[in-house]
Structure 1
Amino acid sequence: MTTTAEPAPTAPETGSGVWLHGVVAEVAPATLAGIAGIAGTPVRAVPGAGLVAVVGDAPLAEYGEEALRRNLEDLGWLERAARAHHAVVDALSRAGAVVPARLATVHRDDERVARVLTERHDELSGTLARLAGREEWGVKGYVVPGGVPRTEEPGGGGGAGAAYLRRRRAQLTARE
């Protein structure tokens, strides 16, 4: 008779990791004052290769590799994490260009974060240069099921034939 052993549950990770919120060219200490990171702790700057990573401490019991696998399946947890992450990125973007990190980018320590800045310096610097002086806007569009599209007469000349073609084009566009 053979038995299969269940894998032993792994003990929760202990200690603290470093959650990467985003990368900026520079950041004034006053900009970071009062900004809470992913775990509610203050964010801080980690310089490296002429760039600055904005990070926060993240307890590995909740933000370690195994815990993240589990927590990313929990929509409530995921929403809270995404909102906290976005709040930091949003605060940074008010001060200048920021390259946001992907959600759940956790490193072991500040030294590893600084190494990533060195390894990805050209890519990150190029992205920051493209973002400088620009703003991000969000636009939402809503479709009303069963709604009738407006078929107002757009201004313009051309007579009755042109008006008919404009109405017909608007109808086809609305149908699409």
Structure 2
Amino acid sequence: GNFIAARDGNADSVSTMSFTVDVNGQTSTAFSFTSDTELFGDTTGPTDANTRTVHNEIVAKINASTDLSALGISANVAGTGPARVSLLYAETRVFISTIDKGLKTINTQRAELGAVSNRLNHTVNNLTNMSANLSAARGGIEDADFALETTELAKNQILQQASTAMLAQANASKQNALGLLRR
């Protein structure tokens, strides 16, 4: 597989790191990081090249299009040999600052998206509630109209029956009056 392995150049110091690239079984040193003592502190002390080789190996998968300049790290290529990268304290601060700015931008965007999502959820809930209330009100109005019409019908039926009864009594009175006159 394709990978980059980073290994300390010195057993007691991380001031120099060399990176090797393994592409389909062919390994070559691609570049090395060199720091100043401001970044890692004093690097003096006993050295033994075999002490920490295995313990300090770092392996990371990369794409073929990885570009260190986007991370604020400068690369100097001398001739056709491998690139040598110097990662100084100032460049490290710029790199970390760039990462922090990116994270702040992402967090701001996430907060704005969360706020929009909350507003949309509130609007959906409000519209659902309004729809339920309108349906209940419409049903109440329709029920009230049905009751009013039923009452109106009963009133009209009573009035019709009363007028029929009055007509019958009036006709009966005429018959009684005619009956008295015939005698």
The alignment's TM-score, normalised by the length of structure 1, stands at 0.21
Larger % of strand: which? 2
Indicate the structure (1 or 2) with the bigger Cα radius of gyration: 2
The structure where helix makes up a greater share of residues is: 2
